[in-house]
A and B are shown apart, each in its own frame.
Chain A
Amino acid sequence: MKLELKNNFYQLQFDAMASPCEVFFYDPKTKRAEKIALQICEEVERLEKKYSRYRKESEISKINANAGKKVEIDQETFQLLQFADTAFEISLKRFDITTGVLRQIWRDGILPSQEVIEDYKKKIGFKKIEWNKNYIRLPKEMEIDFGGIVKEYAADKVCLLLRSLVDSPILLNFGGDLSSDGKDNHVWHVGIEAVKQLGLAKQTIEFIKGGLATSGNTRRFYEVNGKRYGHILDPLTASPVVGAPLSVTVLASSCTEAGLLASLAMLKAENAETFLKKEGYTYWIQR
């Protein structure tokens, strides 16, 4: 982690959730600034440790490893499940946190047979999992993954945490996902390296408040027999979405909201632009 005082703001830099993260804030006392920086890193580490599917001891890995059995959950996980449920409903079942298992059959060079796809359709479906504020029980062979929500949620969560610690304008930039509450209407100039998904030619954007999130990695795809399939999986077909944009960036009132809208737009494939326009959001789409 690196903490530097630049242009009247402290800039905290660290790596988390496979992205370079930056946090901007100001506190007149250096010692306090250092403590704040530490608290931020700890909170992000806490979330990554809890929800990363790459870590065997994470809560999410524990839940998935114990499919078939009841696993105790805390309030935070319960709230994320409630959010995932809302997302499932408003997306008309397209945003589904149980689609992770499809990664087992969709890998480079492999086009799964219709049989295998039908088989895996049985292993997805948010409505099949049993959960309440105390525990969760996944049916055997099913898994959940908050990967599509956690990074944006972390940006907002840390934004709120940071606001409770400082009075200055603040900005969170987690690999291009932004969150700020607009204190003093401070204009943050975010450089193009930080928002590279937009594919713009060397520009900075002037961000004041709300959230900005990007879905889609412009260069990730499955390649089978020379044909390219996007990497967003559609639960209704248990296959990659066809015709999805390369990337979608959305501006919303929070990073979490922006992130979900971006994901929903990707799932709308060719209708991504129409969908976002209809819902009244500012967006940038790259095809």
Chain B
Amino acid sequence: MITFTLVKKHQAADAVLQGAAVVVTKRSKIKKTLQVAVIGLLGVKAIASEPEMIEKPISLKPEKTWFFDSSILYYSEPDRVTAIEPVLAAKKKYSEDEILSFKLVVDSLTGASHNGATTSNVAQTFTRPSGKGTYTAEAGETPLDDTFHDTRVAISSSYQKPIDRLRRNIYGVNVSNEYDYLSLSANYMYQQDFNQKNTTLNAGVSYAFDTIEPEGGLPIPFASMVGAGATQPRQGSDDTKQIIDLILGVTQVIDRESLFQVNYSYSQADGYMTDPFKLLSVIDSATGSTDDYIYEKRPDQRIKHGLFTAYKTAVGKDAFEVSYRFMTDDWGINSHTLDFHYTWLFSNGRKFLEPHIRLYTQSKADFYETFLVTGESPKHASADYRLGDMNAYTIGLKYGQELENEKSFSVRLEYYLQTGDPSRSEIGVQRGLDLYPDVDALMLQVTYSF
């Protein structure tokens, strides 16, 4: 650019007169003026006459915006279910507040799970849900149905978009599919910050529509199990259920090191909630021997209320977290969960060790019976041990480490033990049998984030 400007004689070095054209470079006036002004402001002298920094080849590589977590979980209940679950999660950060995320979960289950019938002093034979083929349980053995070899694939996506600096919307969808079950759901949450972002309020709603189409069709509730090959007591091939969830919560920062969280949740499920593969043993009231096996029946509505609170705090460089959840529903189940995590950082914060303890207790559903007695005709009944009076304990340890280039990995090992009580006393030949056996499981999960 050619600029015509008045050039004082002593600045001639900066001006080159070439005939009619004058090329002038304006010497930096701001720096000098500014440096004098700064000396005037600071009162005495400059901080440094010339700044100095070692200029490494600093590349203006943009901040990482895609974040990935990949993990594999190996879950094993000795003699029962084994599951392998690979998960891939991806997150794209458009900004601190605008995030798009995806998650793919594949659950591959094998093994056998309790079919609801009680352990007996004699061998028992059961018809498979398809109506073709049978499986047996030895005397004194918990009846386990090994029919299911199932793979479940679930994909979910969520999008968080800020309305402004303090408010944001979060939208999500999920699809989960196994060979006999399909779940579709959508959710929305609203978040708002108050008190200079020390308080966050969130309110959310979600809706799910599930379809179940079990192999062999839906069993007639309370119908007796019949032998393989015979016409099976079935009514219809599929059914559905809808679930609406509402959540209202507050997260409050207490100080720079700790925060506290409370939320209330309401859940209402309407539709088919019976487990089509589960049975109840009908026991003779005098001898204790098995008279019949019938299919279970659960109510077609379930309303749950939940209260969750958590407290997280820094302990020096480490972190501690405790949470408590209370749940009650109209099936009569009340449960309490207490969870502790302590994260111990070492090696300059690049590695951590995190022990974990979880305690769980639940009171049984009103219609849960470990077995029925001949002559009883309840409105609903299920012998699914997951609805019984039980306590569960989990103890675990996780190790994690940061790697180069913002990558990290972690390994988690957990042991789970569940114990419970039958809903009624043993009768006759049942004495000495374990009607509500303990269930334990080992979990190993490896995660790699990049």
Contacts and interface: CB of A to CB of B under 8 A. Distances in A.
B60 A199 contact: yes
Contacts of B62: 199, 286
Contact of B48 (A87, A108, A209, A281): A209
B378 interface: no
Contacts of A86: 33-34, 37
Max chain B Cβ within 10 angstroms of own Cβ: one of A202, A255, A256? A256
B35 A286 contact: no
A209 B52 contact: yes
Interface stretch (B38-46, B170-178, B300-308): B38-46
Contacts of A251: 51, 53
A201 B61 contact: yes
15 contacts: A79-B43, A83-B41, A108-B165, A160-B43, A181-B47, A182-B48, A187-B54, A208-B53, A211-B48, A251-B53, A254-B42, A256-B42, A280-B31, A282-B53, A286-B60
Contacts of B58: 198, 200, 203, 205, 284
Interface in A166-218: 179-182, 185, 187, 198-203, 205-212
Given A156-B42, A201-B63, A206-B53, A90 B48 contact: no
B347 interface: no
Interface of A: 15, 79-80, 82-83, 86-87, 90, 108-109, 153, 156-157, 159-160, 179-182, 185, 187, 198-203, 205-212, 219-220, 223, 251-258, 260-261, 264, 278-282, 284, 286
Given A160-B44, A200-B60, A255-B47, A182 B52 contact: yes
Contact of A83 (B37, B47, B59, B256): B37
Contacts of B54: 187, 205-206, 208
Contact of B28 (A82, A156, A179, A280): A280
B34 A260 contact: yes
B165 A209 contact: no
Nearest to B64: A201
B47 A179 contact: yes
Nearest to A250: B51
Given A83-B40, A200-B59, A284-B60, A90 B52 contact: no
A199 B46 CA distance: 29
A203 B60 CA distance: 11
B56 interface: yes
B95 interface: yes
Contact of B55 (A185, A209, A282): A282
B42 A278 contact: no
Contacts of B34: 86-87, 90, 257, 260-261
Contacts of B95: 219
B97 interface: yes
Given A83-B41, A199-B62, A220 B165 contact: yes
B432 to A, nearest CB: 63
Contacts of A223: 162, 164
B30 interface: yes
Nearest to A149: B41
B231 interface: no
B49 interface: yes
A182 B53 CA distance: 10
B11 interface: no
B376 interface: no
B96 A254 contact: no
Given A83-B41, A209-B48, A279 B406 contact: no
B41 A79 contact: yes
